[in-house]
Amino acid sequence: MGVTVTAIPCLSDNYAWLLKDEATGTIGLCDPGESAPMIPAIEAAGGKLDWIILTHHHGDHIDGVADLVARYGAKVVGATADEHRLPKLDQKVVEGDFFSLGESRARVIDTPGHTRGHIAFYFADGGVLLCGDTLFALGCGRLLEGTPAEMFLSLTKLAALPSETLVCCGHEYTLSNARYALTVEPDNAALQSRAAAAEALRAEGKPTVPVTVGQEMAANPFLRAKDVDTLARIRLGKDNFRG
């Protein structure tokens, strides 16, 4: 049956993701940057929270954890490598480990680049990728602690997932990413239509995510970069882009 997922907007442009294992009703929540917007969503899903799933240590992804653990007694899973700067972990994971949400299993993928200890969770059954600030719709995370080579390898791993996989990322950056992406690939028709669709969704106040790996492979210049040098060049361009 697998896992289903819902975006919960929080802070100014973050998304947390509420996950439900359909077989058992086990509930997970990825990257709660604050607790208040999570509570109505958790209550609507049955009023319990079993697991908090963390992709990396930044405050806009973890600052809601303490309150939610106190309120619901949720357990927390995150990267062994970042144990020293994450909330207290009940399960510590490294590349290749599996995390179980009820009967749904997620494979842990090491995705350094944005931060050193950044990880992603891939639920094959249900086709859900929790990728934090590594891959965004039409963009990728800033290289705050990592090199272009590390980010290139991280994106290569995500690009290898099935094309129907839902990319559940940490931020609503799609419009800004689209404006920059169009400077990199102005003639990419898939990108042009994604940019127009994103404009329409945001005009209605709707999230532009999740998107699929296949959609991103067609339109995201960072995921489409053929080598490290290309990725480094377009990442630097985005860092300096004002548009």
| Catalytic positions | 56, 58, 60-61, 114, 133, 171
d(Cα 119, Cα 116) in Å, to the nearest integer?
Answer: 9
Residue 171 DSSP label: B
Number of C-beta neighbours around residue 145 at 10 A? 14
Phi-psi region of 127 (alpha: psi -120 to 50; beta: other; left: phi over 0): left
Q: Which two tokens stand for residue 175?
A: 């419009």
Q: Which is nearer to Fe ion, 60 or 150 (CB)?
A: 60
Q: Which is nearer to Fe ion, 82 or 133 (CB)?
A: 133
Q: Which is nearer to Zn ion, 7 or 182 (CB)?
A: 7
Q: Which residue has the tokens 């891959």?
A: 135
CB 198 within 8 A of CB 166: no
Q: Which of 60, 63, 110, 150 binds Fe ion (CB under 5 A)?
A: 60
Residues 6+ apart with CB under 8 A from 97: 107, 108
Q: Which two tokens stand for residue 68?
A: 């939610």
Q: Which is nearer to Fe ion, 46 or 59 (CB)?
A: 59
Q: Which is nearer to Zn ion, 50 or 110 (CB)?
A: 110
Residue 31 contacts which entry, Fe ion, Zn ion, none (Cβ below 5-8 A, type-dependent): none
Residue 115 DSSP label: S
Which positions from 52 through 71 interact with Zn ion, judged by CB under 5 A?
58
CB of 162 to Zn ion, least distance (A): 26
In the chain, the amino acid numbered 112 is: P
Residue 85 DSSP label: G
Tally: H helices and E strands in the chain? 9, 14
Question: Does residue 210 have a cis peptide bond before it, meaning omega lies within 30 degrees of 0?
Answer: yes
Q: Which of 133, 150, 172, 216 binds Zn ion (CB under 5 A)?
A: 133
CB of 232 to Fe ion, least distance (A): 21
Q: Does 63 bind Fe ion (CB under 5 A)?
A: no
Contact pattern from residue 149 through residue 178 relative to Fe ion, giving x for each residue in contact according to CB under 5 A and a dash for the rest:
---------------------x--------
Contact pattern from residue 74 through residue 113 relative to Zn ion, giving x for each residue in contact according to CB under 5 A and a dash for the rest:
----------------------------------------
CB of 233 to Zn ion, least distance (A): 22
Which positions from 115 through 154 interact with Fe ion, judged by CB under 5 A?
133
d(Cα 112, Cα 151) in Å, to the nearest integer?
Answer: 6
Residue 194 contacts which entry, Fe ion, Zn ion, none (Cβ below 5-8 A, type-dependent): none
What is the contact surface with Fe ion in residues (CB under 5 A)? 60, 133, 170
